[in-house]
A and B are shown apart, each in its own frame.
Chain A
Amino acid sequence: MLLKIAWRNIWRNRTRSIVVITAIAIGLLAGVFASAFMQGMMRQKIESVIKLEMSDFQFHRPQFTEEYLPKLFIPNSEAIMAEVEQEPAVAGTSGRLISMGMVGSARRSGAIRIMGIDPAKEAVVTGIDSKVVEGDFFETGKRNPVLISRKVADKYGVELKSKLVLTVQDVEGEIIAGAFRVVGIYESGNGMFDEMNIYVQQDDLRALMHIEAGVHEIAVSLTDHDLAEPLATKYQAAYPDLQVQPWLDLAAGMRFMVEALDVYLYYIVGIILLALLFSILNTMLMAVLERMREIGVLMAVGMSKARIFVMIMLETVMLTMIGGPFGLLLSYGFVTYFGEAGINLGGAAYSDLGFAAIVYPYLDARSYLEVTMMVVVMAVIAAVYPARKALKLIPVEAIRTI
């Protein structure tokens, strides 16, 4: 009977109930979409960090990532890569010679990170070959080819077939320069990365740096990013002389960013739900105050306070149970649509910060559940005050006369 009364009560003022249901649905949509937007943005950032910059985990000599000294290379890199490739979860490995050098064109010169790669292996690990927008990915067989980004091309005023002079420090600390020819131009979508990195063939850089064998960095790409930390830990134990780090530790601030995102999302959703809470509270309070006499009569004829409390709580829960699924459906539709179409934030500013300019909202099932639970909890909290207000009612005052 309580269910019946509560259900019918919510339809006594149809307009008001529809407004509350709509508010719940829109509140849920706002919460879910804000979460999906942030999660999508972060997911893309993580994908970019893993796929393009860091891979899932990397091997270095200790201190290499701080000092970038040419002599800090891993001599037995081939054996390590062969061993790691035996792991079922490993999609590929790529050994890289790295030099923090100078690039010079006819117009200007500047600092750059030069990556000496095995094109076939690098393509598997980073997919950089698919980012080439002009020219090719070391396919023409020309001498001393270099792949640069659009940003570098613009900055140094070069184009395909232009000559660039790369200056590096060799393994003995001597400064050596070499002439390279632009064979390809790439755009990764990550402005910060593009501005810093150019690619040459490993053997060309090896010759310049006078490193006969070995690489400075072994990048490992996995089929499941969640395995990055356990596998890095495993290989760190196997190679105590090397530094084996997962992407979360390699990318400065990424671990903090990922962990902070969850907290940030809770705050955003919390603020949205707080506004919704007051909307529901206001409506339910009105509904209770309007029915003071009726509630007084219910108490007079013997309905216990606990039942009255439950009745009012049920009304709010029912409104939430209607608005919630409606909002979830709406949210799912929005997230799915924009997850495919993307949201163009317009301009390169985000790209320069290392974020994609087009965000594809995404929300995992757990987050849907969390936001839904937060809405339900919020609705129950919103109902408590009006319900308590009803309990404080003195029947004889509420009904005036018996």
Chain B
Amino acid sequence: MKNIVVETKALTKTYEGIVPVYAVRGADVTIEDNEFTAIIGPSGSGKTTLLNMIGGLDRPTSGSIKVNGHELTGKTDSELIDFRLKHIGFVFQSYNLIPVLTAKENTEFIMLLQKIPKAQRDARVEQLLREVGLADKMNKRPTELSGGQQQRVAVARALASKPDFVLADEPTANLDSASASNLLDIMARLNQEEGITFIFSTHDQRVIDRARRVITLEDGVIVSDERKG
């Protein structure tokens, strides 16, 4: 039996106002180890909000979120920051690398926050950048890299801390077709060969095609949860 990485129960997020907006309503999601899951849905369907809550970036109005058995809803902001550092990898739509650091330093940065010894850091950075095909771009800053290359550095950064899973929000949205395809190949390989769990929110059909599980949201409600093969 596989380990459950993420488990949400009746997860709800409401934005109060004159008319309350129900971004996510009663979402029950269970993600197991080694899954390659896409959360899809039209704009405003709540997929980003769901992803934010799973990543400990946003707090639910009600319901619970467990990551590897740790309940996130009662944690303080500082505890959540620490939790994200140790357990979750993030890949953002706009890459969001630290512009003043090189590819190597961006990848190494998370490990430095984790106080991993230098020798281990160096070895892991080299391994990760090699895996994403950027061994020769280690000393380049983000401005010297293409969008696809920056996103691959972002993947390396997300994996640097050996997280329980990686959350990727529209990771291919800003990439051209070739770069997107290349990035998906890398992530699929990391998933299959190293057992890394990926959870995407996406509109991109290429991501949906590669995903082994597709959760569809509409108006904040999970309307389907399909596993392929």
Interface residues of A (CB under 8 A from B): 1, 4-5, 8-9, 12, 293-294, 297-305, 307, 395-396, 399, 401-402
The smallest beta-carbon distance between B138 and chain A, in angstroms, is 16
Interface of A is mostly: helix
Q: CB within 8 A of B112: which of A1, A304, A396, A399? A: A1
| Known contacts A8-B100, A401-B170, A402-B51: A300-B82 contact under CB 8 Å | no
Query: Number of contacts between A and B (CB, 8 Å)?
Result: 74
Interface stretch of the complex, out of B66-74, B84-92, B124-132, B187-195: B84-92
Beta-carbon contact of B92 and A399 below 8 Å: yes
B99 in contact with A12 (CB, 8 Å): yes
**Contact between chains at B85 and A302 (CB < 8 Å):** yes
- Interface residues of B, Cβ cutoff 8 Å to A: 48, 51-52, 55, 57-58, 77-78, 81-82, 84-86, 90, 92-93, 96, 98-101, 105, 108-110, 112-114, 157, 161, 167, 169-170
Q: Which residues of A contact B85 (CB under 8 A)?
A: 301-303
From residue A269, how far is it (CB to closest CB) to chain B in Å?
A: 35
Contact status A304-B78, CB under 8 Å:
yes
Beyond the given pairs A12-B100, A294-B99, 10 more chain A to chain B contacts, judged by CB atoms under 8 angstroms and listed by A's residue number, are A4-B105, A5-B101, A302-B81, A302-B113, A305-B77, A399-B96, A401-B48, A402-B51, A402-B167, A402-B169
Q: Which residue of A lies closest to B168 (CB)?
A: A402
Is A9's CB under 8 angstroms from B100's CB?
yes
In angstroms, Cα B78 to Cα A4, docked, is: 24
CA distance A300 to B83 in the complex (A): 10
* In-complex Cβ contact of B96 among A8, A294, A302, A305 (8 A): A294
A301 to B88, CA, bound (A): 8
Chain B residue numbers with a CB within 8 Å of A300 are 55, 57, 84, 90
On whether A305 and B78 interact (CB within 8 A), knowing A300-B84, A395-B57, A402-B92, the answer reads: yes
Q: A307 vs B85: C-alpha distance in the bound complex, in angstroms?
A: 13
Which one of A12, A301, A307 has the highest number of Cβ atoms from chain B below 10 Å of its Cβ? A301
Cβ distance A297 to chain B, nearest Cβ, rounded Å: 4
- Contacting residue for B57 out of A4, A305, A396, CB 8 A: A396
- Contacts A395-B57, A402-B92 hold; do A301 and B100 have CB atoms under 8 A apart? no
Nearest opposing residue in chain A for B167, CB measure: A402
Contacts of B113 in A (CB 8 A): 302-304, 307
Contacts A401-B169, A402-B48, A402-B51; A303 near B81 (Cβ below 8 A): yes
| Docked complex Cα distance between A12 and B141 (Å) | 13
Best-buried of B57, B77, B112, B113 by chain A (most CB within 10 Å): B57
Which of A293, A401, A402: most chain B CB closer than 10 A? A402
B78 neighbours in A (Cβ, 8 Å): 304-305
* Contact, CB under 8 Å: B93 / A401: yes
Q: Are A297 and B96 in contact (CB under 8 A)?
A: yes
| For the complex of A and B, 8 pairs with smallest distance between CB atoms | A302-B85, A8-B100, A297-B96, A396-B57, A402-B169, A396-B58, A1-B112, A401-B169
